Structures are given as C-alpha cells and as structure tokens.
Amino acid sequence: MTERPSVVRLVFAPVRALFVSDASAGILLIFVAIAAMLAANSPLAEDYHHLFHGLMFDASVFKLNTLHLWINDGLMAIFFFVVGLEVKREWIEGQLSSADQRKMPVLAAGAGMIFPALVYLFFVNAEGAEGLTRGWAIPAATDIAFAMGVLGLLGNRVPASLRLFLLTVAIVDDIGAVLVIALFYTAKIKLSWLIGAAVVTGIMYAMNKMKVKAYLPFIIAALVLWFFVLNSGVHATIAGVVAALTIPMVGKDDETMVETMEHSLAPWSAYLIVPVFGFANAGVELGDLGMAGVFAPLPLAIAAGLFVGKQLGIFSAIWAADKVGFAPRPEGASWPEIWGVSILCGIGFTMSLFISGLAFAGNTLLIEEAKIGILMGSVISAVVGFTILRLTTAHPDDVRSPYLD
C-alpha cells in the first residue's frame, strides 16, 4: 500500500522545489519589486530615496557620486559582462551555434522588440504626446529571470522545448537591447576617451588571439575599459559586453575561461546585482503621481507595449515561420502553450527599468511614470501568461486527488 503524503508536505513541496530551482532568481525579483514599492510608499520613503540618491561627494571628484549611479553604471556593468559571456558561449557552442538554431529565436526576438515599440509609439502619438517617443525601446526588453520565475511556478507542466525557446529568445533579446543602448541612448561622444576604449579592446582581443590563460590581465583590462567607456559618452555598461566578447574560449581541463567566469559570476549577478538594481530602481511613490500619473500616456503606452506588443510580435512570428516552413515551432508545444509563453515575454523588469533611466535621464516624473508602466505591463503579462499556461498544459503526474473521493 502506498503511503499517503502528509498535508504539510503536499502544500510545501512545490514551494521548496521552486526555490531550489533556476526559477528562484525570478521569484526573488518579485519579492524585491514588492519590497521597493513598500519602501517607497511607507514612512521610510525619504530614507529610501536618500539612500540611493543622496550625494556621496561632489561630482567634480568622480562622476558616480550617488549609490544609484554606482549601481546603474558600476554593478550593472558586471551584469552586462555576464550577459556577454552567455551570448558568446551560446553563439559559439550552445543553442545558437548553428544557422538553423538561430532562425526562430532571432526572428521571434526581433518581432518581439519591433511590435512593442510600434504599439508604444501608436499610443503616445494617439495621445498627442510625441515628446515621449524617446522611450520607444522601454517595452522591447524581456526579463528572463522574472519570466523563468513565473514559468517555474508551473513545474514540469511546460514542455522542455518551450523553456529552451524562452531562454534562447531572451539571449537574442539581450543582444538587441545592448545594441539599442549603444546606438540610441548614447550621450555626447568624447572622442579621446572612445579611442582609449578602442585601444584597450584591441589589447584584450590580442590577448585572446595569443590564448592568454591568466585571468588577472583580462580583469585589469576590463576595469580600465569600463573607466574609458564611462567617460566616453557611451553608457558604461556597454564595456561589460565588449569585455566579455574578448574573453577566450580556452582554459584548463574541459572548462573554458568564458564558462569559468560565467559560472563564477552568474550567481552573484542573479542573486545580488540584479536584486540590488531592482530594489534601487523599482520603488515609485504613488502618492506623488496620483491616479492621473498612473494612467498617464507614458505608463499606458509602456504597459500596452509589453502586454500587447510582445505577445503579438512573438506569437505571429512563430506562427508565420512555422506555416511557411522557415523554422519549426518548439517541438511538442501546442499553440495555446506558445501563446502563453509569448505573453510571459512581456515581463520586462530589469532591462526595461534600465532603459527608462536612459531614455528620460534627468526627468524624475517621466522615470517614475515609466516604472509604473513597466510594473503594470509586467504584472499583467505574468498573471495572464501563467493562467493560460496553467489551463492549457497538463502535468505528467496529474491524476484525480485521492482526497476528493
């Protein structure tokens, strides 16, 4: 006779499984976002703001003179470095290493960036707010940790092919976001600093070709590159990606330098850097905005771009590619499941918050409104995407509960 599991075990086993899985980083982000909103709308609101925006020293000493700037321009450079390592590894020997493997993720990610931007521009122009067009890229990004966290709530109901699809789309999405930041959100270029950055990049590339296996020269060069880029007018985080692409795919034993660095830094990025960034950037004082601010053209345009634009772009791209034979849809996945995952791609937390700060730099009101739009669009996408997947996917062990008999 099979032993009946205890009620406590039945209740808490899924929770434990969730927090020891890869989805735990996404769940942590959910709690961080809630904590930031509570802090910004509590008696601690002034302390919360001063912690991140209070001046540490005069800008003439060093341009990163607030904790907020150190997080966004310093810590996030490490996040982008990890992104660059992941992209390089996947492109050379991973799930994006062949032309056939790249077809669907590149197409879906491209459509998943273009359609949200178009929906956003449609809304801001329809509202007569043409001055907000600079924020077109805010809803174009997908937060992979957040999306995987929601997907993790479903356990193994979701086909493995869909999980892999979501990961590869997010990787290509990250490439697109980095290019957008470099091309469209760059301040006035200071040529001398940019030349210095190019020289350092050349040195790192030469070390790559020489198959240098020591980590210290690359670490020192990456720090120097970050300093040059920080002062060049290009956003400092781009240095992280550029540095990562110069790291050689050589190393001791079976693990390359790229893999070693990625495996060493990824947990710190997922469980420290991104949560700290989220807590520093997600807090919005709702009392200052009021209902008029919450439902202003900017937050509505961003929310619509994330929820409507993402699913429309990604789902239509997959459907069209599958129908014309350009690339097959994820193996074993039904169209309702693909639709649900397409909606989950509308969760745009980390990168969207980051781009909003660049798009409306210096305009606190618009940045706060953008945060509201990002949170609204992400929450709606998470809830609707989860609901659709929960209703359209079957758990392999789903049976009628013995307690219902």
Amino acid at 54: G
3-class DSSP string for the chain:
CCCCCCHHHHHHHHHHHHHCCCCHHHHHHHHHHHHHHHHHCCCCHHHHHHHHHCECCCCCCCCCCEHHHHHHHHHHHHHHHHHHHHHHHHHHHCCCCCHHHHHHHHHHHHHHHHHHHHHHHHHHHHCCCHHHHHHCCHHHCCCHHHHHHHHHCCHHHCCHHHHHHHHHHHHHHHHHHHHHHHHHCCCCCCHHHHHHHHHHHHHHHHHHHCCCCCHHHHHHHHHHHHHHHHCCCCCCCHHHHHHHHHCCCCCCCCCCHHHHHHHHHHHHHHHHHHHHHHHHHCCCCHHHHHHHHHCCHHHHHHHHHHHHHHHHHHHHHHHHHHHHCCCCCCCCCCHHHHHHHHHHCCCCCHHHHHHHHHHCCCCHHHHHHHHHHHHHHHHHHHHHHHHHHHHHCCCCCCCCCHHHC
> Per the structure block, which two tokens stand in for 347?
């969760």
Q: What pLDDT score does 361 carry?
A: 86
Query: pTM for the complete prediction?
Result: 0.79
Residues in contact with 128: Cβ distance below 8 Å, sequence separation at least 6, in sequence order: none
Mean pLDDT by 10 residues, the chain (405 residues): 48 42 73 91 92 86 90 91 88 82 90 95 84 91 81 77 83 84 82 94 95 92 96 88 90 76 91 91 79 84 96 96 91 90 91 90 89 93 92 60 39
HSE of 263 in the Cβ direction (CA atoms, 13 Å)?
6
CA distance 89 to 228: 26
Amino acid at 56: M
Closest CA to 223 of 210, 235, 240: 240
CA distance 66 to 50: 9
Within 10 A of 266 (CB to CB), how many other CB atoms are there?
15
CA 348 to chain centre: 6
Amino acid at 321: A
Q: What are the extents of the domains in the chain?
A: 15-186+235-395
**Secondary-structure class of domain 15-186+235-395 per CATH:** mainly alpha
Q: What pLDDT score does 7 carry?
A: 47
The position carrying tokens 């980083």 is 25
Closest CA to 245 of 212, 214, 201: 201
**Residues 72-109 pLDDT 10s:** 899 999 998 998 898 888 888 877 788 888 889 899 99
CA distance 185 to 167: 26
CA distance 346 to 385: 9
Residues in the chain: 405
Q: What pLDDT score does 318 carry?
A: 95
Q: What pLDDT score does 362 carry?
A: 84
